[in-house]
Amino acid sequence: MDILKALGINEENSGASTGTRWLQPQEKNILEVHSPVDGSLLATVNQATEDEYQQCLDSAVQAFKQWRQVPPPRRGEIVRQIGEALRAKKEPLGALVSLEMGKSLQEGFGEVQEMIDICDFAVGQSRQLYGFTMATERVEHRLYEQYHPLGVVGIITAFNFPVAVWSWNATLAAVCGDVCVWKPSSKTPLTAIGVQHILADIIRDNDLPEGLFNLVIGSGKTIGNQLLKDPRIPLISLTGSTGVGRYGAETVAKRFGRTILELGGNNAIIVTPSSNLKLAVPAIVFSAVGTTGQRCTTTRRLIVHEDIYDQVKEALATAYKTLKIGSPLKEENHVGPLIDQDAVATYLTALGEIKAQGGSILCGGDVLQGEGYESGCYVTPVIAEVENSYPIVQEETFAPILYLIRYNGSVENAIAMQNDVMQGLSSSIFTDNLREAELFLSATGSDCGIANVNIGTSGAEIGGAFGGEKETGGGRESGSDAWKGYMRRQTNTINYGTTLPLAQGIKFDI
């Protein structure tokens, strides 16, 4: 296949690399990678064993000793080259994202563009790894803080954004002076291999240390656990379910390591009577069905005032009828497949729970069969009328299921309903009322890490810090000052005088 060849991917691939060197596992542990688009076998990967993991970590530890001494702007130049290489490979890599994960071709290209954008951001950041000078109470002293490289950063990514989330972490970590070990999802390893081949050329051309960017493909029970428990890794960035994140956080905390957690999202959009429905409806539909409901920022709950409830319900039902479901490689289609049969089973289980708990299905709920749907992973997006208190609504189901919920009274009631779940990633309100918008963004408003007005819950830009609260994990990645998470902060005091005054006016005479 031309897409695979363009990225250096073979029929059989090694599952471990220290940069330019691909390790050959002695044991055969073959992972078959099938496309959710048509069920076809794309390639195989011989997964890494503990031995290959140890080789990669040893290489990373040695590389860090060199890389931390490279001036940050020079590190930024390397990241700039990565961005240029991604520009050159945007088409095949974006197409592979679509083919391997199942998101639309436009979203696949958009994901690679996001990688390019974060490279540009990180290049600028490489000249702004700033500390602060603080006022000191002591004469002839200077008090300040600075940031130093942290070490080896472990990056565990999920299938739904198989390459973009790696770039959020790896590019910032690189300009901060860190080295990376990447464990991609076993559902989407080929895109990771393609990225590693792109990086290899840059490593060679710049005579960079082996171990700067490492790739280790394997199961969570083997490779994932090794990363979480390894004391040589001071920081783990983990994207996944809340359950996986809870285990990861507990495991890393036992060795006093740090975590950046990007976990579940049970995101809501509030629609008030003053909203512009011509703006709201398309945003709701995209946020609910984009990536077939497999974004952590997907809209799961739609909280609509009773005065416009029926109007919104009818508009959405009409819009859902126009959705085109089919191969994501065809640009005219809006909705592609779920990632695999397990995801389909989860979708069907959720529909059963909706009915059992008292909800009703307004539209959707089918698994599509026949020509064009050979993989068995295509489903019709669902709108369901429910109560926010239903147990199934309180959970995050990674599928295109939109819960339609009625509220009455003031916007405070809607905000309370929105916040009444354990997750706290993304949120949105559609309103033309200034008071409602400002209240939503205030300390008594949305309790999520992301709060939007008159746009949907998905589609965050790389310039802002990305992450959420509560069971979403509390981590922050990408823009703003998220770079600080990849560095160690140091407070420094310099006495340039000839006396030794102590803080708090303490006297110590000898």
Question: Which regions of 73-190 does DSSP assign to beta strands (E)?
Answer: 132-134, 141-149, 152-156, 179-183
**Whole-angstrom distance, CA of residue 327 vs CA of residue 316:** 23
- Catalytic annotation, pick one of 56, 176, 296, 448: 296
The radius of gyration of the chain from alpha carbons, rounded to an integer in Å, stands at: 24
Of 290, 98, 260, 77, nearest to 166 (Cα)?
260
Cβ of 491: how many Cβ atoms within 10 Å?
A: 11
Q: How far is CA 104 from CA 112, 294, 300, 325, in A?
A: 13, 12, 20, 10
User: Does the annotation mark 448 as catalytic?
Assistant: no
User: Does the annotation mark 262 as catalytic?
Assistant: yes
DSSP code for 402 = E
Q: Is there a contact between 478 and 465 (Cβ–Cβ < 8 Å)?
A: yes
**Whole-angstrom distance, CA of residue 212 vs CA of residue 65:** 10
Of 422, 424, 420, 392, nearest to 407 (Cα)?
420
> Residue 180's beta-bridge partner residues?
153, 213
**Whole-angstrom distance, CA of residue 381 vs CA of residue 358:** 19
Q: What type of residue sits at position 297?
A: T
- Catalytic annotation, pick one of 52, 262, 396, 477: 262
Q: Is there a contact between 202 and 208 (Cβ–Cβ < 8 Å)?
A: yes
Question: Which regions of 186-251 does DSSP assign to beta strands (E)?
Answer: 213-216, 235-239
Catalytic residue numbers, as ranges: 262, 296
